[in-house]
Homo-oligomer: A and B are copies of this chain.
Amino acid sequence: MDRSQPDHLKNAGLKSTVPRLKILSLFELGQERHMSAEDVYKHLLASGDDVGLATVYRVLTQFEQAGLLARHYFEGGKSVFELNHGKHHDHIVCLQCGHVEEFYDAAIESRQKKIATERGFAVHDHSLHIYADCVKKNCPHKR
């Protein structure tokens, strides 16, 4: 059975407060899959909910720690968050329009683990970002 949002929060050990519920539903119901803190803040303002920017940052970090969201560091420095659907994946980022596409490749994953292990590292996580132009698509997204 599927869970209501307050349950998601409770399971994560977080009180279900108004700002947290709004931010979570932005990710669960909203149109954008990858959002920076600023993006989230603007969406909330636009829909008349006023949540402080500091709260947005705090909540995003808490959600990341709780495993509800995944944080990515793309070129340019700012963090971007997305709903953590459990399945690990990597990203292709369009340099023209900023559009993000996900992919998963078992061969790459296993070679990464092998390489790190051979060298005596215990892998925590990894990030693979391919920066490119989406030639076929004629960049439908504005940066």
- Residues of A whose CB lies within 8 Å of any CB of B are 73-75, 77, 92, 94-95, 101, 103, 105, 107-108, 111-112, 115-116, 119-137
Contacts of A122 in B (CB 8 A): 132-133, 135
User: How many Å from the CB of A90 to the closest CB on chain B?
Assistant: 9
Q: How far is the CB of A20 from chain B (nearest CB, A)?
A: 25
- Tell me which of B74, B95, B103, B127 contacts A124 (CB under 8 A): B95
How many angstroms between the C-alpha atoms of A129 and B108 in the bound complex? 13
* Closest partner residue, chain B, to A91 (CB atom): B126
Number of copies: 2
Q: Is the CB of B92 within 8 A of A121?
A: yes
A105-B111, A124-B132, A127-B127 known, 17 other contacts, Cβ within 8 Å: A77-B77, A95-B124, A101-B121, A103-B119, A112-B128, A120-B134, A120-B135, A121-B130, A121-B133, A121-B134, A122-B133, A122-B135, A123-B132, A124-B131, A126-B131, A127-B131, A128-B128
A121: which B residues are within 8 A, CB to CB?
92, 94, 101, 130, 132-135
Q: Give complex CA distance A135, B116 in Å.
A: 11
Which of B92, B127, B131 makes the CB contact (< 8 A) with A129?
Answer: B127
User: Which of B92, B123, B131 is in CB contact (< 8 Å) with A130?
Assistant: B123
What's the minimum C-beta distance from A33 to chain B, rounded to whole angstroms? 16
